[in-house]
């Protein structure tokens, strides 16, 4: 069924704030960072390292959607200030998840991109409120949702006049217990046909363990995704959430080297910051 999210031909290019970064222009965006923002020093260390390794955006959760209310819930507004400080330090734009529509404006003041998590994909009130901030929205597929339902959710954002949407395949729940979720790699070519919106892959949440993350990330590059979002921590064994699936800083640096090889093979290139701190524009890494 046709919907506003279905506009084949004209691929949507999503500009990220005033950074000069563009997603969906044929280059490959690498988003990296911890599951949760845990401290100002921690997020600063991680941001510096991933920027040096070639990441183009920093991720970090301020409010965490945890299965149990007894698990770490995130540092909330304090984490937003820490993310903003890390952006000033490195020039990397930042993305963070919003759980409550009442936090939309505050989050939009600090973050360049607002994330809707898998558990909230179908939360129309949240989608509308985030869309109205005018910030680009990173919309994750629900783990029990079809590809069409993901596009229907994107229509809530488009209906508010916000066309800056990054779709994310992050794994769905199947009968297979060997991995945390089953990465639906088929969703990428299907979405490419059904929507003009950029499509990213999160290899961390489906893998569930760090050692499988690089292979899934490389598959995303090979299949033609517009980028990946990878969980990275400086001391994964100490992480307050999702440490098991987080790459350490060295593993992330090695992953970017491997990604560049795959991207070259498929005729694409990675988008990276040009190295100047403070909102420096993204530029395409020369392949020569």
Binding site for ligand PEP (CB under 6 A): 35, 61, 65, 117-119, 140, 170, 202, 205
Q: Which residue is nearest to ligand PEP (CB)?
A: 117
Nearest distance in Å: CB 285, ligand PEP: 25
Nearer to ligand PEP, 163 or 202 (CB): 202
The least distance separating ligand PEP from the CB of residue 231, rounded to whole angstroms, comes to 7
Instruction: Please identify, among the stretches 132-140, 187-195, 239-247, 278-286, the one whose residues bind Mn ion according to the rule CB under 5 A.
Output: 239-247
Give the nearest residue (CB) to Mn ion: 35
79 contributes a contact to Mn ion by CB under 5 A = no
CB-nearer residue toward Mn ion: 35 or 51: 35
Site string for Mn ion, 35-74 (x = CB under 5 A): x---------------------------------------
Among 38, 169, 226, 242, binds Mn ion (CB under 5 A): 242
DSSP string, 32-91: EE-SB---HHHHHHHHHHHHHHT-SEEE-BSS---SSTTS----THHHHHHHHHHHHHH-
For the CB of residue 118, give the shortest distance to ligand PEP in the complex, in Å: 4
Rounded CA gap, 58 and 194, in Å? 28
Tell me which of Mn ion, ligand PEP, none is bound by residue 57, counting a contact when its beta carbon lies within the kind-specific cut-off of 5 to 8 angstroms.
none
- Answer with the entry of Mn ion, ligand PEP, none that 188 interacts with (C-beta below 5 to 8 A by kind): none
H helices of the chain, in order, are: 40-53, 77-90, 104-110, 124-132, 147-158, 187-194, 204-207, 213-223, 249-265
Q: How far is the CB of 72 from Mn ion (least distance, A)?
A: 11
Question: 124-132 and 147-158 helices cross at what angle (nearest 10)?
Answer: 40
Task: Pick the closer one to Mn ion by CB: 35 or 151.
Answer: 35
CA 211 to chain CA centroid, nearest Å: 19
> At its nearest, how many Å lie between Mn ion and the CB of residue 279?
26
Cβ proximity to ligand PEP, 119 vs 132, nearer residue: 119
For residues 238 and 269, give the distance between their C-alpha atoms in angstroms, rounded to a whole number: 33
Lookup: tokens for 54 = 């070639």
Residue 283 beta carbon to ligand PEP: minimum distance, rounded to whole angstroms = 27
Nearer to ligand PEP, 119 or 253 (CB): 119
- Nearest approach, Cβ of residue 1 and ligand PEP (Å): 25
From its phi and psi, is residue 25 left (phi > 0), alpha (psi between -120 and 50) or beta? alpha
In terms of CB distance, is 188 or 263 closer to ligand PEP? 188
Within 10 angstroms of residue 2's Cβ, the number of other Cβ atoms is 9
Q: Name residue, tokens 């949507």.
A: 12
Q: How far apart are CA 88 and CA 44, in angstroms?
A: 10
Alpha-carbon dihedral of residues 61, 23, 225, 243, nearest 10 degrees? -20
What's the distance, CA 185 to chain centroid? 16
Site residues for Mn ion per CB under 5 A: 35, 242
């Amino acid at each position: 069924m046709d919907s506003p999210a279905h506009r084949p031909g004209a691929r949507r290019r999503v500009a990220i704030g005033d950074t000069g970064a563009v997603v969906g222009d044929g280059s490959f965006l690498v988003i990296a960072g911890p599951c949760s923002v845990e401290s100002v020093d921690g997020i600063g260390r991680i941001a510096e390292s991933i920027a040096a390794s070639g990441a183009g955006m920093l991720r970090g959760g301020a409010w965490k959607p945890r299965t149990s209310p007894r698990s770490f819930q995130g540092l909330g507004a304090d984490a937003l200030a820490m993310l903003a400080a890390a952006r000033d330090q490195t020039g990397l734009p930042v993305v963070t998840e919003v759980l409550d529509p009442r936090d939309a404006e505050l989050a939009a003041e600090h973050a360049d991109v607002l994330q809707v998590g898998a558990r909230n994909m179908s939360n129309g009130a949240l989608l509308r409120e985030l869309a109205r901030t005018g910030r680009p929205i990173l919309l994750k597929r629900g783990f029990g949702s079809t590809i069409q339902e993901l596009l229907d959710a994107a229509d809530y954002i488009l209906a508010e006049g916000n066309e800056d949407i990054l779709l994310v395949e992050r794994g769905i729940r199947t009968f297979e217990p060997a991995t945390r979720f089953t990465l639906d790699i088929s969703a990428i070519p299907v979405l490419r046909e059904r929507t003009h919106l950029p499509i990213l892959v999160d290899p961390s949440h489906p893998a569930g363990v760090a050692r499988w993350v690089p292979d899934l990330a490389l598959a995303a590059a090979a299949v033609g995704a517009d980028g990946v979002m990878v969980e990275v921590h400086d001391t994964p064994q100490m992480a307050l959430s999702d440490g098991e699936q987080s790459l350490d800083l060295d593993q992330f640096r090695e992953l970017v080297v491997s990604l560049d090889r795959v991207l070259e093979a498929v005729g694409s290139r990675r988008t990276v910051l040009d190295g100047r701190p403070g909102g420096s524009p993204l530029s395409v890494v020369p392949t020569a």
